[in-house]
Structure formats: C-alpha cells, structure tokens
Structure 1
Amino acid sequence: MPSLKEVKNRITSVMSTQQITKAMKMVAAAKLRRSQDRITQIRPFAQKLSSLLKNLSAAQSNMDGDNWYSVVREEKKILIIAVSSDRGLCGSFNTNVMKGVLRLIEEKYTAQYAKGNVTILPVGRKATEFFSKRKFPIITDYTTLYAKLTFENASNAVEHVIASFKEGKFDKVELVYNEFKNVATQILRTEQVLPILAPETTADSNANQVDYIYQPDQEEIITGLIPKSLKVQFFKALLDSNAAENGARMTAMDKATDNAGELLKQLRLTYNRTRQAAITKEILEIVGGAEALKSS
C-alpha cells in the first residue's frame, strides 16, 4: 500500500492536470465558436462554386483552348495534400488523417509509392513530422498555414499546386482532411483536386444542366474562374479542418477532465483507507505496548 505522502502528492498532481484540461477545454470552445462561424459562412458558397466549377470544366472541353485543368494523364507522379493540426491533444484527429493518407496510397498508389513518385504536401506540423520520419518526399513551404489562416496564404499554396500540375510535375493531386460535422464528430474526406472531375451524367443531371451565357468571352471567364474556385475549395477545407480540430480538442479535454475527476475519487478513497490503516496500526501498537507493560 502506498504511503500517505505518495497518495497526497499524486492527488495534487491530478488536480493540477485537471485544471489544465479545464482551461484547454475553455480555450478550444472559444476558438470553436469563431472557426465554426467561418466555415458556416463559406460552406454554401464553396459548395455552389464547386458545382459550377465542374460544369465549367466540362464546358471548357468544347472550346478550342487547352483544357489542361481537366486533362487526364497517366498517373505516374502523385501529390497528396495532408491537412493536420500544429498541436496534439485533440484525440484521433491527426491519426485519422495519417491513416487516411497511408490507406489511400495502399489502395490506389502502391506502384507509384514503390518508385518514390508519391509526394506529400503537409499542412500542419503534425503531418510534417509524421511523413518526414517515414522518408516521404515532402513539400514544406506551406506547413505553417495555420499560423496565419487567410485566403491569401491558402491561395499561394493552390497556385503552387496548379503550376506544378500544369508543368507536369504531378499527374494527379488528392486532398485528405477532416470535415467538421459537429463538436463530437469529424468526417475524414478524400477529394481529387486535379484534374477536375466532370459532373456525373445522369438523366436528372442532364435535365437540370445549365446553359451558361458568357460575357465577354467564354475562355477568358472559365480560365479565370477555375483557379479562383480551386482556391476557395482549398480554403474551405482548411477552415473545415480548423473547426474540426477545435471540436476534437474540446471533446478530448472534456473527457480528460472527467477522467481526472474519477481518478481523484479513487485516490481520495485510497488516501482515506491508507490514513485509517495508519491510525489503526498506531492504536494497535499503543494497545500492544500497554499490554506488555501490564504483563511485566
């Protein structure tokens, strides 16, 4: 049985940890409100723009210009954008992203990985550390996007990806991130960024297909709008991941606080039992000494 001092020291340590987890939960809750407002505002716009992007990309195939945004090449070199967080203590948030990327490589790009043709563009320090240790080719220019999460900084990363795809450095670009659903739920998403997928052709989609009127010029509008749409989709993914991270951290710290409370109950019970045992031992020693004096 541990000594009273050991149990008391452990109680003090757990109480300090509980105070930290409570504070972290409150900070995560405050950040979650702001990040949730941002993703709620941009999500309808991004979804509508994504639908428009696919329709415009399909329409571009009818033009005489070079439709390199949608050109499907042999998948020799792959770029995977892995969106994680900068810090831990957020449950399985980062682990899900890493496992998602590894599963994607195993299921679709095993041959390319064997040849060293799978490159990772990590967003967030956790993804950078994970894939660096496993000797993946990585692009580290945009690791710290969360330090200042703005549309301008996200646009710079997308411009780099678009230029690399156009120059033939990569034949396909995939994006893996956590989508925010609610405080307790994050959904792992894997989306193809480039080449742009054409909308699925069904009887209903053909019936509802929009015939756009272009002014002043079809090619100029499409080639200008597609990069902007890609930037919005990427920025939306970053905001989704940021909100999901704060939700995951809030949930993890809430559970950690509850677990600390349960542990404190057990430690206090152990402390009382140990203290009672010590008192009982002292009484027995006194009684034993008194009996010894009587017999003498």
Structure 2
Amino acid sequence: MGAQQREYKKRIRSAQGMQKIFKAQEMIAAARISKAQARVEATTPYADAITQAIGAVATHTRDAVHPFLAQDRSRTGRVAILLITSDRGMAGSYSSSAIRQAERLNNTLRAEGKSVERYIVGRKGDSYFRFRNRRVEQSWTPYKETELVELGHEIAATLNARLLDESENGLDELFVVGTRFISRFQQEARVARLVPLAVVDADEDADTTFPLYDFIPDAATVLDDLVPRYVTSRIVSILLQSMASEHASRQRAMKTATDNADSQITKFTRLANAARQAEITQEITEIVGGADALAGSGRKDR
C-alpha cells in the first residue's frame, strides 16, 4: 500500500505544478486582452477614413481606375492566401480553426482552376504545411506582439508588389484568413478577400450625405496612393484582431486546463486517502488477528 500512496502523491504534486503554470498563463492572457483590444480600436478610425475616401473616389469619379478595383482579374490565375496563426501553443483551437478555413478556401480555389500561393504568419501554420511537404511562398515567424503594425506593413509591401506585378508571376487575388475578435468569449475564424476590392455604389434614392473631397493632383493619382494603403490597413487590422483573439482563446484554454488539473488533484487525493485507509484497516486487522491467535494458543503476556 505504501508504494501506491507514493504514486498517488507523485501525481498530485505533478498536477499541482501544472495547475500553477496554467493559472499563470490564464492571468497573463487576461491582462493582455484589453491592451490588444485597445490597439484594434485605435486603428479602426484610420481604416474607416481610407475606406470612405476610396469609396468617394470610386463612386464620384468615373475616369479613375486602379488594378485592385478590376473585378475580373484573371491575368495569371495565381491567388495568394495569407494565413494568420499563433507563434505559441496553449491557445486552444485558435490556430487549427484558421488552418481549417484556409484549407477549405484552398480546395475551393483549386476547384475553380486557380493556382494558390501560401503566405503564413506564425509558427503553427508554418509547421503545419512544412510537415506535410506543402510549399509555402513566405512565412513570417517568429514575430513580436509589440511589432505587429510594422509586420503588417512588411507583409503588405510584399503582397502589394506581387499584386501590381504585370508579369506572369503576378497575383490576381488576395485572401486573408484570420480570426475576428467579437468578445472575450467569442472569436470567429473567417476569410476576407482584399483584392480585388468590392466597391458598392450607393443607392441614389437614399438620403446620404457624402463628404466633400478635393483630389490633388487628380483622382487617379490619389487612388493609386490610397488603394495600397487600404490593403495595408486591412492587413494590420486583421493581425491585431487575430492577436486579441489568440489571447482570448488562450485564456479560455488555460481556464479549462486549470479546472481539469484541479479535478485530477481531487481524484488522486481521494485515491490516496482510500489507499491510506485501506492500509490502516489492514494493519488493524493484522493486530487483531495476532491478538486472537495469541489468545487461542493460551499464552498470557507477563
């Protein structure tokens, strides 16, 4: 029985150590969610202003065109998928959900006869495809949370150059697979098509007041400058939202792991107590049995 108790106590100590790690990770993730959410909200006005400006140029200037606005971009048949995953583990289904979305999108595009190029952010996505010997055009890993804006500009510069490339190696479309942060308890892996841009004309009968813009030197030049900036702002925004979603997913995963560790501690504590009680009962039984044996033999203690 002693060996059994030692084994249970060993497992209890192991579960207690893991519980401390899980609890610390949960607290760290909870503290970082608010900061990540604040960064997302800080970039929203800039992205909204660029979107509004592009809409004004595209809607009110008929002679202004840009390659990213052309809905029938089928020069090369090449399509880029930018997948955003985690650099670290213990984040629950955060990375796997985004990877599944990317795989479904990849199958859909290939069924349409398009050639897919993969661009990966994060170790989890990069290792997933490389382990399966599937080509990755470029990956950005590892990355720092404090440098997400700079990372977004670097990624956008690479992809904008490929999208504007007029040669046979250029890209026609750009899809981004990331995780939308809805709340601390709800995140959603989704696909966003950034290029070509979808410009929706406003309803002429709607009572809408449009801002007034003066395009200098001309609308086409302004559009050439705004559209790549729009793509950059969207990539940065999706990166920031994905980071906030990662923290929220890690907090939930660590809370579940902490509760599971507590359940294991309770389970093995009960087993250890039962083993100890069985040992005590056995010792008492042996003492009583020995006393009965002495009494039956007629010997008396002196």
Residues 204 and 238 from structure 1, CA distance in 2 versus in 1: closer, same or farther, beyond 3 angstroms? farther
**2:283 is paired with a residue of what secondary structure?**
helix
- Distance (Å, rounded) in 2 between the aligned partners of 1:53 and 1:15: 56
Measure the CA separation in 2 of the matches of 1:204 and 1:260.
Answer: 61
2:134 matched to 1:133? no
Residue in structure 1 matched with residue 278 of structure 2 by the alignment: 277
Q: In the alignment, which residue of structure 2 is the partner of 1:84?
A: 85
Deviation at 1:104, TM superposition (A): 1.3
Instruction: For residue 23 of structure 1, report the CA deviation from its aligned partner.
Output: 0.8
Shift of 1:141: 4.6
Instruction: Decide whether aligned partners of structure 1 residues 176 and 200 sit closer, same or farther in structure 2, where only a CA change above 3 A counts.
Output: farther
Do 2:85 and 2:95's aligned partners in 1 also have CA atoms closer than 8 Å? yes
- The one-letter code sitting in structure 2 at the alignment partner of 1:68 is P
Provide Cα deviations, 1:16-59, integer angstroms capped at 9, x if missing partner: 00100111111112222221211122124323433433453556
Aligned partners of 2:266, 2:242: CA distance in 1, in Å?
36
| Secondary structure class of the residue paired with 2:178 | strand
Q: Is the 8 A contact 1:124 1:146 kept in 2?
A: no
Contact in 1 for aligned 2:84/2:242 (Cα 8 Å): yes
Provide the residue aligned with 2:216 in structure 1: 215
Work out the CA distance in 1 between the residues paired with 2:105 and 2:191.
8
Change (3 A) 1:82 1:176: same
Structure 1 residues 246 and 176, CA gap change in structure 2 (3 angstroms): same
CA distance in 2, matches of 1:191, 1:286: 76
Partner of 1:196: 197
Q: How big is the shift at 1:183? A: 1.3
1:70 corresponding residue in structure 2? 69
Contact 1:31 1:246 in 2 (8 A): yes
On the 8 A contact 2:148/2:239 being kept in 1, the answer is no
For residues 237 and 80 of structure 2, the distance between their equivalents in structure 1, rounded to whole angstroms, comes to 19
Normalising by structure 2, report the TM-score: 0.87
- In the TM superposition, 1:17-56 aligns within 5 A as 17-56=18-57
State the one-letter code of the partner of 2:73.
R
Q: Which runs of 5+ in 1 are unaligned?
A: none
CA distance 1:84–1:233, change in 2 (3 Å): same
2:10 equivalent in structure 1 = 9
- 1 CA distance for matches of 2:32 and 2:200? 36
Q: Is the 8 A contact 1:78 1:170 kept in 2?
A: yes
* Aligned amino acid, residue 104 of structure 2: R
Conservation of the 8 A alpha-carbon contact between 1:86 and 1:126: yes
Distance 1:197 1:134, change over 3 A: farther
